[in-house]
Structure 1
Amino acid sequence: MTRVITPDLLAAAQRGFKTSFQKGFAGVTAMYASVATIVPSNSSEEVYGWLGDIPKLREWIGDRHLKSLESKGYSIRNRKFEATVTVLKDDIEDDKLGLYGSRFEMLGNSAAQHPDEITFELINSAYATACYDGQNFFDTDHPVGKPGSVQSASNMQGGSGTPWILADLSRPLKPFIFQKRRDYNFIAKEDSKTSDHVFMRDEYIYGTDARVAAGFGFWQMAFGSKETLDKQSLQDAYTRLASFTDDEGRKLGIKPTHLIVPTTNVFAARELILAAQIDGTSNTMANLVQIIEAPLLQ
């Protein structure tokens, strides 16, 4: 029996689709919040002129030491994303909405995973994309020091193998930034009386969209490598990351907390970090940091 499509019927269908969308969204454990600081955005673009200045206290002798922020001109422009699905009017009339539950659940799943996708899209470009100081995020020549005494600092190793990243993710500002202008929401366009699409195509439109972006934070909080992940390369990365200083030569006190690896490197990481012994001797790297398996890292 064909049902008459009424506003109440459409509203009920929308509630069901939205419930499936939210179920799919909630079923994802996103990774981006672990590696990136989430920053709310109020415009099409945000300028992070303060990057490069990591605040540290000094003994107060005489007047306050006014450290003006050097404008770095680093900006992150929001991008628009969408995903849209359609539902046939006939299927609503014929009460076949159960066919669409998994489709809308997958839509929610995709929306929840999307921040990971654009965050690791950025991370995967970090060897060839500039951060606030004009150098690539992972680079051998980051300028550090006062004018006239600037030196180069490196937050990368060489190599051409499987990548991995050692990072300090304990700070309020992580190595990467996820900028959020408009969050992922479920939306519907289904009014038969006003929708040209429904009139012309005999189908209803549902979807999700967002305005978000990813960018680089402090390069000092991460060390990238494509060398073989072993005891020597990890020790080198750990020591160098912990040795970074500010422009006045003071140690930043960085303590690496996480080793980020793609799935192809996860077993090497587990053997190095989780094993009590290696080749019959005590493993001095055991539990040094936590492992994050990042399937999108490449």
Structure 2
Amino acid sequence: MLLNRENLNALSRSLRALVFQAREEYRPFWNRIALESRTEGRVGTYTWLEDFPTMREWKGERQVQNLSLKTINLENADWEMTFAIARKDVEDDLLDQVGANAREYAFRWAQHDDYLVTQLLLKGFSAQGPDGANFFGTHRVGKKNYQNAGTAPLTRESFRAALANMRSLQDSRGYPLGFFLDRPLLIVGPHLAPTATEIVGVPTLPNGGANPDYGAAEVLVNPWLVDGYAGYWFLVDGSRPIKPLILQRRMDPEWVAKTDPEDDHVFRHNEYVFGIYERKAIGYLYWQLAYGSTGTGS
């Protein structure tokens, strides 16, 4: 390829189109457990509700249900991902190799939101949620305590117990929340995937007969639940308009390119640089929609 400004600008445009297309083709799972929000400023502000409004018979004046408990502020962080292409690879027209590397770059970029929400889940056993308790822990609601955390390994019995527990949640007035009734997500790593599938993913039991838990949850295999987190498992109700987590965006992703031969980096390293810039943040919302176990108990 002739390395003039026109051809290099065309290369940047082609790579941008390739990277953004590859990202659009990726099927994420973060949007099933996190609410997406857009902000116009550095910080996004949200109101967390302890109780949710309910209908009542209208007698006398309307009763305003002021149910907000706490304001959540999320400050956007800067994120970048950058890759370089050697000048000689462009000059020698190794564009198939360049394109393959760019698509792999796009795949890693597309995974990032999934990675971020996974880190929230993993940290939830020690990080506080909006009510001041650990997101996965003991929560005071009215005069009762509810637990959305455990240590039991994933078994048919522990799955049933966790699901029954989350289905029994009530607000401070004793009103049933009605969560986890519509096929929640059972999130596991590769190690627990066969166990999760045996519990809810096949119609028959290993020793024969109908599986009463078949379809009670949808198995979602999370590639980051490995090594020290291989035994972790989560139940998430992603069927509601609200979600347990939030992913906040300040701006659309921005494509940045350095291809000018007079650029200091291009001159010093004999390579062209391309990258993505984003501003976003993640945070906790409703613990009532998520259950987590470390799988470390007996």
TM-score past 0.5 threshold: yes
Q: 1:248 to 1:85 in 2, by over 3 A?
A: same
Structure 1 length normalisation: TM-score? 0.68
**Alignment equivalent of 1:261, drawn from 164, 179, 188:** 188
Paired residue secondary structure (2:85) = strand
CA contact (8 A) 1:13 1:97 kept: no
Q: 1:125 to 1:93 in 2, by over 3 A?
A: same
Indicate the residue corresponding to 2:147 in structure 1: 154
CA contact (8 A) 1:50 1:71 kept: yes
Q: Deviations over 1:101-146 (max 9, x none)?
A: 1221122111111100111011111111111100011112x1111x
Query: How far did residue 13 of structure 1 move?
Result: 0.9
CA contact (8 A) 2:3 2:91 kept: yes
Distance 1:282 1:4 in 2: 67
Paired residue secondary structure (2:14) = helix
Letter aligned with residue 235 of structure 1 = R
Paired residue secondary structure (1:103) = helix
Indicate the residue corresponding to 1:135 in structure 2: 133
Higher RCO, Cα 8 Å, sep 6+: 2
Query: How far did residue 244 of structure 1 move?
Result: 0.6
CA contact (8 A) 1:24 1:107 kept: no
CA contact (8 A) 1:51 1:132 kept: no
Indicate the residue corresponding to 1:246 in structure 2: 171
Q: 1:290 to 1:99 in 2, by over 3 A?
A: closer
CA contact (8 A) 1:44 1:77 kept: yes
Aligned residues with identical type, % of pairs: 26
Query: How far did residue 293 of structure 1 move?
Result: 1.5
For the pair 1:283 / 2:281, whether they are aligned, the reply is: no
Q: Deviations over 1:214-261 (max 9, x none)?
A: xxxxxxxxxxxxx12222212211111111111211001123422222
Q: Deviations over 1:183-210 (max 9, x none)?
A: xxxxxxxxxxxxxxxxxxxxxxxxxxxx
Q: Which 5+ residue runs of structure 1 have no aligned equivalent?
A: 160-226
**Alignment equivalent of 1:235, drawn from 132, 157, 160:** 160
Instruction: Tell me the number of residue pairs that the alignment of Structure 1 and Structure 2 aligns.
Output: 223
CA contact (8 A) 1:260 1:294 kept: yes
Structure 2 length normalisation: TM-score? 0.68
CA contact (8 A) 2:46 2:73 kept: yes
Q: Which 5+ residue runs of structure 2 have no aligned equivalent?
A: 230-298
